[in-house]
Protein backbone atom coordinates (compact mmCIF):
# COMPACT_ATOMS: atom_id res chain seq x y z
CA UNK A 1 0.00 0.00 0.00
CA UNK A 2 2.79 2.42 0.99
CA UNK A 3 4.64 2.02 -2.31
CA UNK A 4 1.47 2.44 -4.37
CA UNK A 5 0.43 5.56 -2.40
CA UNK A 6 3.78 7.13 -3.29
CA UNK A 7 3.41 6.28 -6.98
CA UNK A 8 3.39 9.06 -9.54
CA UNK A 9 0.51 7.37 -11.41
CA UNK A 10 -2.97 8.33 -10.21
CA UNK A 11 -4.35 4.84 -10.97
CA UNK A 12 -1.82 3.19 -8.64
CA UNK A 13 -2.66 5.64 -5.86
CA UNK A 14 -6.37 4.98 -6.43
CA UNK A 15 -5.84 1.21 -6.00
CA UNK A 16 -3.93 1.87 -2.75
CA UNK A 17 -6.78 4.09 -1.52
CA UNK A 18 -9.27 1.26 -2.09
CA UNK A 19 -7.03 -1.01 0.01
CA UNK A 20 -6.97 1.60 2.78
CA UNK A 21 -10.77 1.83 2.61
CA UNK A 22 -11.01 -1.96 3.02
CA UNK A 23 -8.55 -1.90 5.94
CA UNK A 24 -10.38 0.90 7.77
CA UNK A 25 -13.74 -0.84 7.26
CA UNK A 26 -12.27 -3.87 9.04
CA UNK A 27 -11.07 -1.67 11.92
CA UNK A 28 -14.56 -0.09 12.15
CA UNK A 29 -16.12 -3.58 12.32
CA UNK A 30 -13.64 -4.49 15.10
CA UNK A 31 -14.35 -1.20 16.93
CA UNK A 32 -10.63 -0.48 16.90
CA UNK A 33 -10.34 3.31 17.34
CA UNK A 34 -6.60 3.12 18.08
CA UNK A 35 -5.90 1.42 14.73
CA UNK A 36 -8.08 3.91 12.85
CA UNK A 37 -6.24 6.83 14.51
CA UNK A 38 -2.91 5.26 13.60
CA UNK A 39 -3.88 4.98 9.91
CA UNK A 40 -5.09 8.61 9.80
CA UNK A 41 -1.96 9.81 11.62
CA UNK A 42 0.32 7.94 9.20
CA UNK A 43 -1.52 9.26 6.16
CA UNK A 44 -1.28 12.81 7.55
CA UNK A 45 2.29 12.99 8.76
CA UNK A 46 4.08 10.65 6.36
CA UNK A 47 2.05 11.39 3.26
CA UNK A 48 -0.23 14.48 3.13
CA UNK A 49 2.37 16.64 4.90
CA UNK A 50 5.38 15.04 3.19
CA UNK A 51 7.97 16.99 1.16
CA UNK A 52 7.29 14.82 -1.90
CA UNK A 53 4.37 15.83 -4.17
CA UNK A 54 3.35 12.25 -5.10
CA UNK A 55 3.30 11.28 -1.41
CA UNK A 56 1.09 14.31 -0.66
CA UNK A 57 -1.30 13.27 -3.44
CA UNK A 58 -1.34 9.74 -2.00
CA UNK A 59 -2.04 11.09 1.48
CA UNK A 60 -4.99 13.14 0.24
CA UNK A 61 -6.68 10.28 -1.59
CA UNK A 62 -5.94 8.04 1.41
CA UNK A 63 -7.58 10.41 3.91
CA UNK A 64 -10.68 10.66 1.69
CA UNK A 65 -10.77 6.84 1.54
CA UNK A 66 -10.64 6.71 5.37
CA UNK A 67 -13.59 9.04 5.56
CA UNK A 68 -15.62 6.92 3.12
CA UNK A 69 -14.82 3.77 5.11
CA UNK A 70 -15.73 5.43 8.41
CA UNK A 71 -19.13 6.62 7.15
CA UNK A 72 -21.16 8.15 9.97
CA UNK A 73 -18.26 7.51 12.38
CA UNK A 74 -16.09 9.96 10.43
CA UNK A 75 -17.45 12.70 12.69
CA UNK A 76 -15.27 11.32 15.50
CA UNK A 77 -12.08 11.94 13.50
CA UNK A 78 -12.92 15.08 11.55
CA UNK A 79 -10.25 17.35 13.00
CA UNK A 80 -7.54 14.79 12.11
CA UNK A 81 -9.00 14.24 8.62
CA UNK A 82 -9.56 17.90 7.74
CA UNK A 83 -6.40 19.63 9.00
CA UNK A 84 -3.79 17.99 6.72
CA UNK A 85 -6.08 18.46 3.70
CA UNK A 86 -6.51 22.16 4.45
CA UNK A 87 -2.72 22.53 4.72
CA UNK A 88 -2.51 21.37 1.09
CA UNK A 89 -4.82 24.23 0.03
CA UNK A 90 -1.76 26.45 0.19
CA UNK A 91 0.43 24.16 -1.95
CA UNK A 92 2.36 25.76 -4.82
CA UNK A 93 1.31 22.92 -7.17
CA UNK A 94 -2.18 23.56 -8.60
CA UNK A 95 -2.79 19.82 -9.16
CA UNK A 96 -2.22 19.26 -5.48
CA UNK A 97 -4.61 22.06 -4.53
CA UNK A 98 -7.17 20.43 -6.83
CA UNK A 99 -6.67 17.01 -5.21
CA UNK A 100 -7.03 18.65 -1.79
CA UNK A 101 -10.38 20.11 -2.89
CA UNK A 102 -11.51 16.73 -4.16
CA UNK A 103 -10.44 14.99 -0.93
CA UNK A 104 -12.19 17.56 1.27
CA UNK A 105 -15.34 17.32 -0.85
CA UNK A 106 -15.44 13.57 -0.20
CA UNK A 107 -14.77 14.02 3.54
CA UNK A 108 -17.49 16.68 3.88
CA UNK A 109 -19.97 14.70 1.78
CA UNK A 110 -19.69 11.73 4.13
CA UNK A 111 -19.68 13.75 7.37
CA UNK A 112 -22.54 16.13 6.38
CA UNK A 113 -23.87 17.87 9.53
CA UNK A 114 -20.94 16.70 11.68
CA UNK A 115 -18.68 19.21 9.90
CA UNK A 116 -20.66 22.24 11.15
CA UNK A 117 -18.50 22.66 14.31
CA UNK A 118 -15.47 22.84 11.95
CA UNK A 119 -17.13 25.39 9.66
CA UNK A 120 -14.77 28.30 10.39
CA UNK A 121 -11.61 26.49 9.27
CA UNK A 122 -13.37 25.24 6.14
CA UNK A 123 -14.68 28.71 5.33
CA UNK A 124 -11.23 30.17 5.89
CA UNK A 125 -9.65 27.66 3.48
CA UNK A 126 -12.36 28.07 0.87
CA UNK A 127 -12.24 31.87 0.95
CA UNK A 128 -8.58 31.65 -0.12
CA UNK A 129 -9.33 29.16 -2.91
CA UNK A 130 -12.15 31.36 -4.23
CA UNK A 131 -9.46 33.60 -5.70
CA UNK A 132 -7.25 30.75 -6.98
CA UNK A 133 -5.65 31.51 -10.37
CA UNK A 134 -6.14 27.91 -11.60
CA UNK A 135 -9.59 27.34 -13.19
CA UNK A 136 -9.70 23.64 -12.16
CA UNK A 137 -9.00 24.50 -8.54
CA UNK A 138 -11.61 27.25 -8.68
CA UNK A 139 -14.29 24.94 -10.08
CA UNK A 140 -13.35 22.26 -7.50
CA UNK A 141 -13.67 24.80 -4.69
CA UNK A 142 -17.05 25.95 -6.05
CA UNK A 143 -18.39 22.37 -5.86
CA UNK A 144 -17.21 22.11 -2.27
CA UNK A 145 -18.65 25.54 -1.51
CA UNK A 146 -22.10 24.49 -2.83
CA UNK A 147 -22.03 21.33 -0.72
CA UNK A 148 -21.08 23.31 2.38
CA UNK A 149 -23.91 25.80 1.76
CA UNK A 150 -26.42 22.94 1.49
CA UNK A 151 -25.20 21.48 4.79
CA UNK A 152 -25.28 24.80 6.66
CA UNK A 153 -28.75 25.59 5.30
CA UNK A 154 -30.16 22.36 6.72
CA UNK A 155 -28.24 22.47 10.02
CA UNK A 156 -29.55 23.71 13.37
CA UNK A 157 -26.07 23.80 14.92
CA UNK A 158 -24.49 26.70 13.05
CA UNK A 159 -22.43 28.88 15.43
CA UNK A 160 -22.97 32.42 14.16
CA UNK A 161 -21.26 34.06 17.16
CA UNK A 162 -17.89 32.43 16.44
CA UNK A 163 -18.24 32.98 12.67
CA UNK A 164 -18.85 36.76 12.75
CA UNK A 165 -15.23 37.80 13.58
CA UNK A 166 -13.98 35.77 10.60
CA UNK A 167 -16.65 37.25 8.31
CA UNK A 168 -15.84 40.76 9.55
CA UNK A 169 -12.17 40.23 8.72
CA UNK A 170 -12.72 38.67 5.28
CA UNK A 171 -15.34 41.18 4.14
CA UNK A 172 -12.57 43.75 3.61
CA UNK A 173 -10.86 41.73 0.87
CA UNK A 174 -10.24 43.67 -2.34
CA UNK A 175 -10.18 40.56 -4.51
CA UNK A 176 -13.32 40.28 -6.68
CA UNK A 177 -13.64 36.50 -6.35
CA UNK A 178 -13.17 36.64 -2.58
CA UNK A 179 -15.82 39.39 -2.39
CA UNK A 180 -18.21 37.33 -4.49
CA UNK A 181 -17.60 34.37 -2.17
CA UNK A 182 -18.29 36.49 0.94
CA UNK A 183 -21.51 38.01 -0.44
CA UNK A 184 -22.78 34.63 -1.62
CA UNK A 185 -22.41 33.33 1.97
CA UNK A 186 -24.14 36.38 3.44
CA UNK A 187 -27.08 35.79 1.06
CA UNK A 188 -27.23 32.10 2.05
CA UNK A 189 -27.12 32.85 5.78
CA UNK A 190 -29.78 35.56 5.39
CA UNK A 191 -32.08 33.00 3.80
CA UNK A 192 -31.91 30.55 6.74
CA UNK A 193 -34.83 31.25 9.14
CA UNK A 194 -32.94 30.04 12.26
CA UNK A 195 -29.92 32.26 11.61
CA UNK A 196 -30.37 35.89 12.63
CA UNK A 197 -27.62 37.79 10.84
CA UNK A 198 -29.40 41.12 11.47
CA UNK A 199 -28.14 41.14 15.08
CA UNK A 200 -24.58 41.35 13.76
CA UNK A 201 -25.21 43.76 10.89
CA UNK A 202 -23.28 46.67 12.54
CA UNK A 203 -20.15 44.48 12.37
CA UNK A 204 -20.35 43.90 8.61
CA UNK A 205 -22.29 46.93 7.31
CA UNK A 206 -19.19 49.03 6.54
CA UNK A 207 -17.62 46.12 4.64
CA UNK A 208 -20.83 45.64 2.63
CA UNK A 209 -20.85 49.30 1.60
CA UNK A 210 -17.22 49.00 0.52
CA UNK A 211 -18.09 46.00 -1.68
CA UNK A 212 -20.95 48.02 -3.17
CA UNK A 213 -18.27 50.13 -4.88
CA UNK A 214 -16.71 47.13 -6.66
CA UNK A 215 -15.90 47.41 -10.38
CA UNK A 216 -17.85 44.25 -11.17
CA UNK A 217 -21.50 44.81 -12.03
CA UNK A 218 -22.39 41.29 -10.84
CA UNK A 219 -20.79 41.81 -7.42
CA UNK A 220 -22.52 45.18 -6.98
CA UNK A 221 -25.84 43.52 -7.88
CA UNK A 222 -25.28 40.73 -5.32
CA UNK A 223 -24.32 43.29 -2.69
CA UNK A 224 -27.43 45.38 -3.41
CA UNK A 225 -29.49 42.23 -3.00
CA UNK A 226 -27.91 41.45 0.39
CA UNK A 227 -28.39 45.03 1.63
CA UNK A 228 -31.97 44.99 0.30
CA UNK A 229 -32.74 41.85 2.30
CA UNK A 230 -31.32 43.43 5.46
CA UNK A 231 -33.40 46.57 4.94
CA UNK A 232 -36.52 44.46 4.48
CA UNK A 233 -35.77 42.75 7.82
CA UNK A 234 -35.18 46.12 9.50
CA UNK A 235 -38.60 47.39 8.35
CA UNK A 236 -40.22 44.16 9.55
CA UNK A 237 -38.67 44.09 13.05
CA UNK A 238 -37.39 47.59 13.91
CA UNK A 239 -37.48 46.90 17.66
CA UNK A 240 -34.45 44.58 17.46
CA UNK A 241 -32.33 46.85 15.26
CA UNK A 242 -29.15 48.51 16.54
CA UNK A 243 -29.77 51.84 14.81
CA UNK A 244 -27.24 53.88 16.84
CA UNK A 245 -24.37 51.49 15.99
CA UNK A 246 -25.12 51.74 12.27
CA UNK A 247 -25.90 55.46 11.98
CA UNK A 248 -22.24 56.54 12.04
CA UNK A 249 -21.33 54.03 9.34
CA UNK A 250 -24.14 55.36 7.13
CA UNK A 251 -23.15 59.01 7.69
CA UNK A 252 -19.66 58.23 6.37
CA UNK A 253 -20.99 56.43 3.28
CA UNK A 254 -23.50 59.22 2.54
CA UNK A 255 -20.42 61.28 1.67
CA UNK A 256 -18.92 58.65 -0.65
CA UNK A 257 -17.75 59.67 -4.12
CA UNK A 258 -19.36 56.53 -5.59
CA UNK A 259 -22.97 57.31 -6.60
CA UNK A 260 -24.39 53.87 -5.77
CA UNK A 261 -22.80 53.84 -2.30
CA UNK A 262 -24.01 57.38 -1.58
CA UNK A 263 -27.55 56.76 -2.81
CA UNK A 264 -27.89 53.46 -0.94
CA UNK A 265 -26.57 55.00 2.30
CA UNK A 266 -29.06 57.88 1.94
CA UNK A 267 -31.96 55.45 1.39
CA UNK A 268 -30.93 53.63 4.57
CA UNK A 269 -30.67 56.89 6.52
CA UNK A 270 -34.17 57.80 5.43
CA UNK A 271 -35.46 54.54 6.91
CA UNK A 272 -33.58 55.25 10.15
CA UNK A 273 -35.02 58.75 10.63
257 φ/ψ angles, rounded to the nearest 5 degrees = -80, -20
Q: Structure pTM?
A: 0.93
My answer on whether 7 and 108 are in the same domain is yes
Does the residue 75 lie in any domain?
Answer: yes
Does the residue 73 lie in any domain?
Answer: yes
My answer on whether 123 and 39 are in the same domain is yes
Q: Check residue 254 and give its pLDDT.
A: 97
Does 248 score more than 90 pLDDT? yes
CATH number at residue 57: 1.25.10.10
Q: How many domains does the chain have?
A: 2
Does the residue 153 lie in any domain?
Answer: no
**106: containing domain:** 1-135
Higher pLDDT, 27 or 272: 27
Distance, CA of 21 to CA of 39 (rounded, Å): 11
Does 240 score more than 90 pLDDT? no
Does the residue 151 lie in any domain?
Answer: no
My answer on whether 54 and 88 are in the same domain is yes
Distance, CA of 192 to CA of 7 (rounded, Å): 45
- Of the chain, the percentage scoring pLDDT greater than 70 comes to 100
My answer on whether 129 and 178 are in the same domain is no
What average pLDDT does range 188-200 have in this prediction? 94
Provide the mean pLDDT of the chain. Answer: 96
Long-range contacts of 107-112 (CB under 8 A, 24+ apart): 107/63, 107/64, 107/67, 107/74, 107/78, 107/81, 107/82, 108/144, 108/147, 108/148, 108/151, 109/147, 110/67, 110/68, 110/70, 110/71, 110/74, 111/67, 111/74, 111/75, 111/78, 112/151
Does 63 score more than 90 pLDDT? yes
Label residue 273 by pLDDT band (50, 70, 90). Answer: confident
Does 258 score more than 90 pLDDT? yes
Q: Check residue 137 and give its pLDDT.
A: 98
Q: Check residue 67 and give its pLDDT.
A: 98
Burial class (CB in 10 A: 0-12, 13-18, 19+), 63: buried
Q: Check residue 266 and give its pLDDT.
A: 97
What average pLDDT does range 94-109 have in this prediction? 98
Label residue 41 by pLDDT band (50, 70, 90). Answer: very high
Nearest-CA neighbor of 177 among 208, 142, 201?
142
Does the residue 265 lie in any domain?
Answer: yes
Amino acid sequence: IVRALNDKLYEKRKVAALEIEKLVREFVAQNSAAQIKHVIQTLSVEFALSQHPHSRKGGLIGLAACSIALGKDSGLYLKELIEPVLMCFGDADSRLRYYACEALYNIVKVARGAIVPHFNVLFDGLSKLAADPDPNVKSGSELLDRLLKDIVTESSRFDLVSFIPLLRERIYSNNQYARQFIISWILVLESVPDINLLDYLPEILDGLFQILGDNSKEIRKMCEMALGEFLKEIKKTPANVKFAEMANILVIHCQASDDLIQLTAMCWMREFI
